[in-house]
Structure 1
Amino acid sequence: MYNGGALIMRRHLISLNDLSYADLCQIIQRSTDFSKGNVEIQQLLVGQIIGIYFKKTSTRTRTAFSAAALRMGAQIISYGPNDLQINTGETIEDTTNVLSGMLDCLVARTAGEWSEMQMFASQNKMSVINAMSADEHPTQALADLTTIKNHFGKIENIKVLYFGEGNNTAAALALALTKFPGAELHLRTPQGYGLKPEILQAAQQYAQISSAKIIENHDPFDLPNDIDVIYTTRWETTGTSKEDPCWKERFQPFMVTSRLMDSYSSAVFMHDLPAHRGEEVEADVLDGPASIAFVQAKNKMYSAMAAMEWCLSSSSN
């Protein structure tokens, strides 16, 4: 994009690996400010045009980015899974070239591999935000950390116990939380359904720098002593299925139950939603007094505001 002859360099938010600790803190602080009503939002993105492209179903993320953009004064163009000519054989390269000449930002949920998201971000005229790919759900982690900061007043030294599949939500949480000093992430995942090795390795490297901890094992009964947050996700990530016909038997011991919550009387419960009551979580937990899952969902809009503002706060060369 050009502004008065100056080239505007856009930022992308494709992976939390791309954010420094300072960047992450800036976005989270801005998100919490939005959530508390400390910032006047109506004019922040006036004149910006945001593309919302979702190849997979979405309630929270698509609504969050659409509502956030509109509340901040931007205009949006929404694309469903069958709307772009990619479906008729146009290359992603050509599609990217066209969209980047017209849009200021593209929020994309491919739910596929990195290559498609990386191709969208191969230019610097249009910001690209990953609204979920197969490997990572970075904007979910932004909402998660916003929720934690609002509830506890901090992210440092917070202890999170994650139950369930090491999916893209767990990956994003691992890559984000381990950048905060003293934070702990304890993952209990079924055998064969843990974090990808490269994600775990990256999170361990961040933890070494920040004096955080990340510990994953596959025993749902081997639990830490003190926990602030118990977190789970749907056992089948949006747009995926499992080959093993008996997979639910492997996951059954990883349900978040009232008994588990009672073991940590001061802990809160978080869930990225949608939830399947009676599978990954008991209804009494999700709908109980310790649950902040629906506050967490609302915070997706505020973190979307912060993400778009950060990406579109450009530098001119």
Structure 2
Amino acid sequence: MDPTMLKRQRTFDPTAAWFPESLTEDPSTWVDQSLVSVEQMSPGGVRLVMDYAERCRRLIEDGPGHCGLLQGKIMAAVFYEASTRTACSFHAAMLRLGGSVIPLPSSSSSVSKGESLADTIRCLECYCDVLVLRHPDKGSCDTAARAASIPVLNAGDGTGEHPTQALLDVYTMRAELGGDAPQDCTVTLAGDLKHGRTVHSLAVLLARAQFGNLSLRYIAPPSLEMPDGVKAQVAAAGVDQTEVSTLAEGIRGADVLYVTRIQKERFDNESDYHDVKGSYVLTPAIMKDAKEKMAVMHPLPRVDEIHTDVDDDPRAAYFRQMRNGMYVRMALLLLTCGKIPPLSP
């Protein structure tokens, strides 16, 4: 066993709030730290992740495709909810960096016997160096990080946050639009904005990261609007935000259209879900009114909110967005483990 494992201590106050903007442009501030909320990152910290992710992209696309920077490191992937993209991209990220993965779906863990989340985390920290957690309960990743003596990366906690998704979304905007994007951009968020943890984290991250001349638009069915708490955080950062009622309005002049599905699993009554399902469907006809250079993004999975005929449009970025998730998660694993990605070949 790595002798450092025996020396780990819980050095934080379990009742204290996470320090806002404590993860900065200084890589040393990320080492051995959990990522629970986008509020932990300073504007410089966000840009550091973008820089590391770009180095990781070059390693994969222009270089050998892998390295041994995390050789000997083990990541536990603890998923209490179904996941394709987040789980697989974290796995691939760790393997590309030379590390190993312990996958633990809830069906295989002692949670089925009544074990608490905190006890599960304290068990797994005996075997690994970093832990990735997805859980259906809002605030669960905060609970896990306070119980752990190793870094915990939030891979989505109920209707709360999804900080690693928000980071890969910003990276995708930069990759698709170029320049200083999303600076000087209009970003439209459409769909289930009430339950969508991806849009919660993205809106707050965009606002807090100080991208100049940024504006947000919201499109949602009645009862599924962006929560007031999220809008208050955006407003506090001085970012303009407006609500529109149709995709045609939302797409007009937008640089990014970020579409989300209506989340059936968050509804108590299935009939309420069917009342709003299919409220917005992006089609090639609607895309005719979009900018020639615009990015259509989606955290996936999709149901019926983007017609498959849109997939052939060069502005459809959602499959490239998936691959970007691996680069960003490679960057986060390197930062957490105190490693610097190689420069471009």
TM-score normalised by length of structure 1: 0.87
1:174 aligned residue: 203
Q: Distance in 1 between matches of 2:6 and 2:156?
A: 34
Range 215-224 or range 73-82, more displaced: 215-224
CA contact 2:32–2:337 (8 Å) conserved in 1: yes
CA drift of 1:3 comes to 3.6
Q: Does the 8 Å contact 1:55/1:111 carry over to 2?
A: yes
1:15 partnered with 2:37: yes
The alignment status of 1:54 with 2:79, answered yes or no, reads yes
Contact 2:118 2:147 in 1 (8 A): no
Identity across matched positions, percent: 25
Q: Which residue of 2 aligns with 1:67?
A: 92
The whole-number CA distance in structure 1 between the counterparts of 2:212 and 2:273 is: 36
CA distance in 1, matches of 2:247, 2:313: 22
Deviation readout 1:93-124 (Å, 9 max, x if unpaired): 3222222233211111113221x211210056
Would you say the 8 A contact 1:164–1:251 is kept in 2? no
Q: Distance in 1 between matches of 2:156 and 2:6?
A: 34
Q: Secondary structure at the match of 1:305?
A: helix
Q: Which position in structure 2 is the counterpart of 1:44?
A: 69
Gaps of 5+ in 2: 10-30, 340-345
Partner residue, 1:199:
230
Contact 2:33 2:152 (C-alpha < 8 Å) held by counterparts: yes
Question: Structure 2 vs 1, CA of residues 124 and 244 (structure 1 numbering), >3 Å: closer, same or farther?
Answer: closer
Secondary structure of the structure 1 residue equivalent to 2:285: helix
Contact 1:177/1:185, CA 8 A, preserved across alignment: no
> After superposition, where does 1:78-97 map in structure 2 within 5 Å?
78-97=103-122
Which segment is superposed worse, 125-134 or 251-260? 251-260
Cα RMSD after superposing both structures? 2.6
1:236 is matched with which residue? 263
Q: Which amino acid aligns with 1:261?
A: M
Question: How far apart are residue 243 of structure 1 and its match?
Answer: 2.3
Measured at CA, do residues 181 and 242 of structure 1 come closer, stay the same or move farther in structure 2, by a change above 3 Å?
Answer: farther
1:139 maps onto 2:164 in alignment? yes
Q: Distance in 2 between matches of 1:17 and 1:215?
A: 22
| 127-136 vs 179-188, greater mean Cα deviation | 179-188
What TM-score comes out, normalization by structure 2 length?
0.80
Aligned length: 306
Matched to 1:55, the amino acid is: Y
Which residue matches 1:162?
A: 189
- Compare 126-135 and 263-272 and name the one that shifted more: 263-272
Q: In 2, Cα distance between the equivalents of 1:29 and 1:183?
A: 21
| Aligned-pair CA distance for 1:218 | 4.5
Paired residues of 2:282 and 2:306 also in contact (CA < 8 A): yes
Partner residue, 2:127: 102
Letter in 2 for 1:30: Y
**Alignment-mate amino acid for residue 190 of structure 1:** P
Change (3 A) 1:248 1:184: farther
2:248, 2:286 within 8 Å by CA — same for their partners in 1? no
Q: Call closer, same or farther: CA 1:43–1:192 in 2, change over 3 Å.
A: same
